[in-house]
Homo-oligomer: A and B are copies of this chain.
């Protein structure tokens, strides 16, 4: 057998680093050398992670990458949990990058859709977060990571503070495959003792650069209670009675929308009236939603493990260490990998919203004009088939009298039958099918599949989809709560009456929920200012949410 070199990655890494040795002071790179450093450390065709999270953005580094010359550096394969910055797409338009594997694209959802469909971006897949992390250890092993932290010491230890987010997963996959870890930080401290805590050890980090300004962070989960409508409150009341109390849901994740914000704000009022405190919604897998403050302060919440932080919530979280996961420095330790894991395997319920639902119950936020990606929804909104522990809520969805019966995670879609602009939520075919065809994707970008969805809640009623005995019956149950959309109008009244008699669907009146009771006065807080009050002034909302 010919002698093979088994150390090519480490040698290549050493060679790249040698190219900038003269510009480095230990691991510290002066800001003005960033372009030279990226040319030296990245090669055309590399797999490069640009971090790119839900909230935290390594924007100094991704901005520098986008300034490079595509003649010198091209055909990069970008791997990004989130595509959240204009420069994340500029690298494709300029020809520096060619292929993209990602999970979420909040603010760039319109533009990314266009670039996917005109072929500028070749998309590998739209993943759920931990699926993408998993692939970093298997078939998408990265060559370079561009990451961001609050602080570093001169050895390269990183303090990511409350914004740890995806960094441990991305750094581990890169550092231990002889990849190159480049970190931008807001501040370099001389004395390691001045580092609040170590989130990423120095030996995992190759280059540290102090950015020209603090990394960008998006307050993605702040919902102003002023925008919560009576219809959302009405649906939230149904959710609490027909799902949370019905099944005894104690561990859960909430989506990003106003629907679930309404539920959070009803716990200390309507929930209290129903006598549910301590019975439901105790252990959370959730970003630090400002709208959860009243429930926390009212003693509803035992624990919250966070995917990321939420801008403005830092002091509040630090003052509630019995509830949140915090470090010895007092600040939040978020961790998207473990939080998604907890959401998959340890939470009884996911409840979220979507843009389109087809007659089978498949749903997606991907439309022909907007490809926002999935983020955590496919993972959180699916049953962990490997789960082997029982809880009352999980067990409640099992069949009876079968020794092999297993329970099921509650996956709830909570939607109004019409979206803004009077577009029906219920459609004959998801736009995702068209997008797959136009963007040449191997599978349609479905967010949550119909066969994974256990409950569908609209303002018309609640369908217990897990009780459906056939696809045909599931379709009838969906149509029964689809209101005056074309799908809903086609529902057969007699079938609907039968489903109701079988307790497979419930109408608001079946649950004793009335529109007259569903007023904004039910909300524990009706404004951001109220949330600040609830927090005793600890919550410091970003300026754009302040009306005072």
Contacts and interface: CB of A to CB of B under 8 A. Distances in A.
Interface string A270-306: 0000000000000101000000000001010001010
A131 interface: yes
A134 B345 contact: yes
Contacts of A404: 358, 360, 362, 433, 444, 446, 449
A226 interface: no
Contacts of A251: 138-139
A436 interface: yes
A397 interface: no
Contact of A125 (B358, B386, B388): B388
Contact of A389 (B131, B390, B444): B131
A109 to B, nearest CB: 16
A178 B327 CA distance: 7
B443 A9 contact: no
Interface string A103-133: 0000000000000000000001111101101
A92 interface: no
A512 interface: no
Contact of A322 (B9, B138, B387, B436): B9
Interface string A414-450: 0000000000000001000100100000111110010
B335 A134 contact: no
A215 interface: no
A539 B7 CA distance: 18
Interface stretch (A68-76, A197-205, A497-505): A197-205
B346 A134 contact: yes
Interface stretch (A24-32, A34-42, A259-267, A375-383): A375-383
Interface string A2-22: 001111111000000000000
B388 A137 contact: no
A342 B134 contact: yes
A37 B441 CA distance: 58
A338 interface: yes
Contact of A203 (B134, B197, B303, B381): B197
A111 B337 CA distance: 35
Nearest to A305: B137
B131 A6 contact: no
Contact of A338 (B101, B137, B343, B449): B137
A269 interface: no
Interface in A186-225: 197-199, 201-203
Contacts of A9: 321-322
Could you say how many copies of this chain the assembly holds? 2
Interface residues of A, number: 104
A6 B138 contact: no
A204 to B, nearest CB: 8
Contact of A138 (B283, B321, B449): B283
A141 interface: yes
A419 to B, nearest CB: 21
Nearest to A409: B385
A256 interface: no
Interface stretch (A169-177, A456-464, A524-532): A169-177
B319 A6 contact: yes
Contacts of A131: 345-346, 384, 386-389
A339 interface: yes
Interface string A326-356: 1111000101011101111111000000000
A169 B322 contact: no
A516 B250 CA distance: 59
A44 interface: no
Contact of A449 (B173, B406, B452): B406
B133 A338 contact: yes
A395 B176 contact: no
A247 to B, nearest CB: 15
A128 B327 contact: no
A138 B203 contact: no
A173 B141 CA distance: 26
Nearest to A133: B341
A342 B388 contact: no
A374 interface: yes
16 contacts: A1-B297, A6-B321, A101-B389, A131-B389, A135-B346, A138-B283, A141-B303, A157-B201, A172-B338, A198-B198, A198-B202, A337-B341, A341-B341, A378-B385, A378-B387, A404-B444
Given A197-B203, A403-B429, 14 more contacts: A6-B320, A101-B389, A128-B345, A130-B386, A131-B388, A172-B335, A176-B326, A198-B203, A358-B404, A374-B388, A378-B386, A378-B387, A388-B443, A388-B445
10 closest residue pairs by CB, A with B = A125-B389, A382-B385, A198-B201, A134-B345, A134-B346, A379-B386, A390-B442, A138-B346, A378-B386, A137-B305
